[in-house]
């Protein structure tokens, strides 16, 4: 689940952007041969394991996390790809998510990647220009524009009615001449096709593969086309609701969101780690762990190299807990800086250090609070598991949750 929490001061601007920003702004995967009308992903030689980190456009506000921080933390040296979140989907089209943050905001010298301040009247400002500067420092770094997310997935149902028109709008936006050099492809974060997220989609099981097919046809073989997908491995769950295997032939890789399995939306508990690698005795729901998710996706015929391991750079927690170990009752979500029940790793490592591990991830108790999150040690273990499974790499949500010196991303590498 990728949330789009934004400062209230920007809400009206963002809502306005949704309607007019476009002006400024199971089949076996891989079975069969892509045709000229149905091109597959680019056939590249074997590459090093991918490390994909999300950068959120709203992070430049309250969080004060700029593209510059990707450089100063050392993260840029370790990333292979950045997913820029999020573009919006409305009226069946891809549109800018926050025009001010994306293309307009002038950054000071202290905020800028290269230490050079933006000037009035320059052709492109905002995060896009900062990403351009970052790529000049790191020529091998790729940037993918991600559309949708938890808050903005409601527009995909309309888009699915005319996939070709949707794909054209996305291509026209991503490849806009003002910033075409910034982006290397598109990522679709539809939560969730033919299932319920913030809203419920009823577009049918074939809507997702048809959408991805249209995007691949429009973007061609050279561009990256990826998707963040559900991690619900339960029988009859969200993976079963859409034909992810049928769509896999059109994507370079999937990002299964193997986090947020459990959280304080179940206000009274039981407490459980939000990102377990494996099941464990007493887990509240079978099929809610990374190993089960990957196993189910592979059982559909999706090849391992098209699946990335998902890691959260944050924790989820409860307050009013009754016991230190998982499985206790609670009274509600623990307080968080930006969202109740959620907190960045960089805060939790100091405020509520890990006291134990379960299911391959860490948990912590401090006073009446119970938190779960990944640490450098559990990330190293997860990475080793990923390597044994032959997965294509690792992705994480999101960069601003790490420490100033990139403690978590270092553990991935």
288 near 261, Cβ under 8 Å?
Answer: yes
Rg for the chain, CA atoms, rounded: 20
Q: Please tell me the distance from the alpha carbon of residue 410 to that of residue 376, in angstroms, as a whole number.
A: 8
Six-digit token string for 16: 């306005």
Q: How many CB atoms lie within 10 A of CB 386?
A: 23
Catalytic residue among 191, 210, 343, 398: 191
Q: Which residue has the tokens 């080793």?
A: 384
Per the annotation, the verdict on 398 as an active-site residue is no
Q: Please tell me the distance from the alpha carbon of residue 208 to that of residue 206, in angstroms, as a whole number.
A: 6
* DSSP H helices in 248-375: 290-299, 345-351
* DSSP H helices in 75-125: 99
Q: How far is CA 31 from CA 245, 246, 247, in A?
A: 10, 9, 11
Give the SS3 label for residue 210. helix
Which of 147, 304, 166 is closest to 226 using CA atoms?
147
Residue-level length of the chain: 413
Long-range CB contacts for residues 212-215, cutoff 8 Å, separation at least 24: 212/188, 212/247, 212/250, 212/251, 213/38, 213/163, 213/247, 213/250, 214/163, 214/164, 214/166, 214/167, 215/163, 215/166, 215/167, 215/170, 215/186, 215/188, 215/250
Q: How far is CA 51 from CA 33, 138, 142, 156, 398, in A?
A: 28, 14, 11, 27, 12
Q: Please tell me the distance from the alpha carbon of residue 131 to that of residue 119, in angstroms, as a whole number.
A: 17
Six-digit token string for 165: 């028109």
- CB-based contacts of 355, cutoff 8 Å, min separation 6: 324, 363, 364, 365
Q: Please tell me the distance from the alpha carbon of residue 46 to that of residue 69, in angstroms, as a whole number.
A: 30
Which residues partner with 362 through β-bridges?
Answer: 357, 373
List active site positions: 191
């Amino acid at each position: 689940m990728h949330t789009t929490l934004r400062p209230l001061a920007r809400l009206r601007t963002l809502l306005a952007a949704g309607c007019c920003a476009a002006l400024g702004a199971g089949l076996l995967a891989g079975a069969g041969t892509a045709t000229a009308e149905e091109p597959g992903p680019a056939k590249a030689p074997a590459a090093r394991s991918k490390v994909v980190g999300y950068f959120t456009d709203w992070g430049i506000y309250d969080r004060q996390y700029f593209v510059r921080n990707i450089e100063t933390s050392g993260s840029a040296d370790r990333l292979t790809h950045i997913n820029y979140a999020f573009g919006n989907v409305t009226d069946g089209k891809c549109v800018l998510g926050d025009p001010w943050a994306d293309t307009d905001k002038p950054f000071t010298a202290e905020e800028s990647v290269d230490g050079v301040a933006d000037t009035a009247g320059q052709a492109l400002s905002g995060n896009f220009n900062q990403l351009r500067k970052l790529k000049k420092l790191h020529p091998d770094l790729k940037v993918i524009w991600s559309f949708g997310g938890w808050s903005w997935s409601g527009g995909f149902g309309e888009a699915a009615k005319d996939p070709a028109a949707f794909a054209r709008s996305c291509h026209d936006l991503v490849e806009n001449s003002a910033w075409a050099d910034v982006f290397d492809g598109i990522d679709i974060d539809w939560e969730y096709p033919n299932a319920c997220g913030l809203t419920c989609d009823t577009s049918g099981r074939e809507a997702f593969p048809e959408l991805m097919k249209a995007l691949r046809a429009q973007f061609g073989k050279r561009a990256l086309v990826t998707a963040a997908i559900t991690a619900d491995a339960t029988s009859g769950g969200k993976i079963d609701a859409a034909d992810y295997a049928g769509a896999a032939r059109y994507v370079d890789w999937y990002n299964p969101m193997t986090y947020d399995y459990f959280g304080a939306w179940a206000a009274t508990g039981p407490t459980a780690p939000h990102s377990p690698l494996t099941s464990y005795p007493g887990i509240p729901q079978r099929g809610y762990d990374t190993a089960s998710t990957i196993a189910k996706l592979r059982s559909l015929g999706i090849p391992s190299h098209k699946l990335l391991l998902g890691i959260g750079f944050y924790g989820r927690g409860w307050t009013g807990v009754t016991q230190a170990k998982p499985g206790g009752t609670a009274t509600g979500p623990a307080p968080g800086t930006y969202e109740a029940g959620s907190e960045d790793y960089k805060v939790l490592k100091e405020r509520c250090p890990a006291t134990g591990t379960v299911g391959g991830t860490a948990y912590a108790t401090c006073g009446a609070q119970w938190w779960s999150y990944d640490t450098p040690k559990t990330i190293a273990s997860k990475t080793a598991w990923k390597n044994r499974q032959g997965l294509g790499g690792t992705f994480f949500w999101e960069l601003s949750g790490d420490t100033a010196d990139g403690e978590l991303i270092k553990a991935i590498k």
